Structure 1
Amino acid sequence: MFYTSRRAAAWCGLAALVLAAPALAQGKKAAKPAAAPVVDTEIQGALGRMANALKAIDSFELRADMTTEEVLDNGQKLQSSSAMTASVRRPNRLQVNVDSERRNRRFYYDGKQLTIYGPATGYYASVAAPPTTYAMLQAVADRFGVETPMADLMMWGESGVRLDGVTSAVYAGADRIGGEVCDQYAFRQPGTDWQLWIRRADPALPCKVVIVNTDDPAQPQTDAVFSWTPRSFTDAQFAFVPPADAKRIEISQAIAAKGGKQ
């Protein structure tokens, strides 16, 4: 699952999680019986069903209504809300709008180049990118520290759900998200508690995620509610055409910009 990678930290605003490999045992020791899996087969099956549903959709619009918590110096938590709308065409087209009253961003990926644009300021930055959306998101995260929910969702649809860092997994029962009956699952791992809701009817797409940073005593939370719509797109919808008054800057400046409407 994406919460076993550093992308969990990005959603919660944490530093990257580092999982250290244990040292190799020295000498010969008696073999130990295999431990029971932390995640039972029914939960693994539900996650596999979700991954297959993600793999099956090639062209779609995804909307995520997101709520994040910021911890002030005095320990008080403030919530903020934003909306992400992503147009996706596999394997190499992506356009993302992230909008709130505090920040606005546009991301364009046309299979060759990634552009980040701030519509309020007119600043934009472009960088050459790998030839697939999944590889592009990984490369941008590695090089610039920019990580988005799209990276995790694309990973689910490419390689399935990773569970190697999970220490506890439970099925919490049925819930209703956006009018859909969804099955709720709760997971724990070092530094992070997270929950995932999966649509019960086909296609078994993610309905909602909640992530809690347990490394922080205040335990700030991030949640996102998803809606999925199959849709067709033209190449032009993924290509960035700078407005007449747009100003090009280095991508590091675009990423680092903070505060105000951007």
Structure 2
Amino acid sequence: MALLIRLARVLALFTASAITASVDAQPAPDAPITQKKPPANGGKSTRKSPEPDFKFVVEPQAMDLLKAASDKLASAKTMSFTATVSYEYPSKLGPPIVYTMRYDVTMQRPDKLRIVVPGDGPASEFYYDGKAMTAYAPAENLAAVSDAPPTIEAALKAAYRDAAIYYPFTDLLVADPYAALSGGAILAFRIGSSAEVGGTKTDMVAWANNDVFLQAWIGTEDRLPRRIRAVFQADPLRLRHDMQLSDWKLDPSVPPGIFVSQKAQAAGRMPFVSPAPPPHGVKPIVSGMAPNLPQPKSGQ
């Protein structure tokens, strides 16, 4: 699942690079006085790795819960919710520190989206009206504007490709959330029930592919996702990413003008490009434009 976050993949990449650089920078140890004779087998270990005492399974019950949540989201013509996302970052002290972002999201299928991010960090706003997409920095009163494809799905892909704009709940906004949430599953099972998340009873589901391990809390009655927690396989520090989903409204009446910002239209202009290109020689850990983001259909 995209949750969750391109930031995690970038962080894992730079953490791995930093660890490698640190190891390479260590001074070489003094040469031993005597050299040991290499073993006859060329130094290869004759011991076999222990077999895991469990077997990965994809339980239909868990996949059915993901499908029910996906169908609930896909059927909504309009939708709004708040995502509160906590990201762990490494620190020199050892234990990670946590940063939190809040996203207030409103969408109208198939071609309108508004995302307001009040903090932590610099506030930002994103508007898409089916023709153009605008990234607005209210504190600086600067806006980046670009022509946009005709669907939310394709617009999010273009925003990521052109300006490194990415949101951890992207999988919840696409036309077919189940395709995004279920792709490449190697593990899925129902953990149990909880009454402590989102103020309602939820079913807890664990899910994994070769890139990420997720735990999701899905409303037992309304089948809405209430919380998603992720750890990425490529991250050597196994930092955790946690997304709380609240204030759900499905098919609300949406004012027609909220997908365009008058302040953003009157603001100064900046290029619709990535603010910081990756360092020279750094390759992405996972290929593709964005995690699990479906490709737009031909003509979009």
Q: Which residue of 2 aligns with 1:78?
A: 97
Change (3 A) 1:234 1:74: same
Q: TM-score, normalised by structure 1?
A: 0.79
Deviation at 1:184, TM superposition (A): 0.7
For 1:70 and 1:88, the matched residues in 2 are separated by 30
Q: Which residue of 1 aligns with 2:272?
A: 251
For 2:234 and 2:56, the matched residues in 1 are separated by 25
Q: TM-score, normalised by structure 2?
A: 0.70
For 1:46 and 1:124, the matched residues in 2 are separated by 40
Q: 1:135 is paired with a residue of what secondary structure?
A: helix
Kindly indicate whether the alpha-carbon contact (under 8 Å) linking 1:9 and 1:16 is maintained by their aligned counterparts in 2. no
Q: Which residue of 2 aligns with 1:242?
A: 263
Q: Which residue of 1 aligns with 2:253?
A: 232
Kindly indicate whether the alpha-carbon contact (under 8 Å) linking 1:184 and 1:197 is maintained by their aligned counterparts in 2. yes
Q: 1:91 is paired with a residue of what secondary structure?
A: coil
Deviation at 1:140, TM superposition (A): 1.8
Kindly indicate whether the alpha-carbon contact (under 8 Å) linking 1:75 and 1:218 is maintained by their aligned counterparts in 2. no
Q: Percent identity?
A: 25
1:169 maps onto 2:188 in alignment = yes
Deviation at 1:161, TM superposition (A): 4.4
Deviation at 1:142, TM superposition (A): 2.9
How many residues align structurally?
233
Q: 1:42 is paired with a residue of what secondary structure?
A: helix
Match of 1:187 among 190, 202, 207: 207
1:88-167 equivalences under 5 Å are 88-155=107-174, 157=176, 160-167=179-186
Match of 1:200 among 213, 220, 242: 220
Deviations 1:87-135 (A, max 9, x none): 1111111110112132211000011111001111111100111011111
Q: Which residue of 2 aligns with 1:44?
A: 63
- For the aligned residue pairs, the C-alpha RMSD in angstroms reads 2.7
Change (3 A) 1:183 1:243: closer
Kindly indicate whether the alpha-carbon contact (under 8 Å) linking 2:67 and 2:178 is maintained by their aligned counterparts in 1. no
Q: Which residue of 2 aligns with 1:216?
A: 235
Kindly indicate whether the alpha-carbon contact (under 8 Å) linking 2:215 and 2:228 is maintained by their aligned counterparts in 1. yes
Q: 1:211 is paired with a residue of what secondary structure?
A: strand
1:12 maps onto 2:8 in alignment = yes
Instruction: Judge which range, 221-230 or 123-132, deviates more.
Output: 221-230
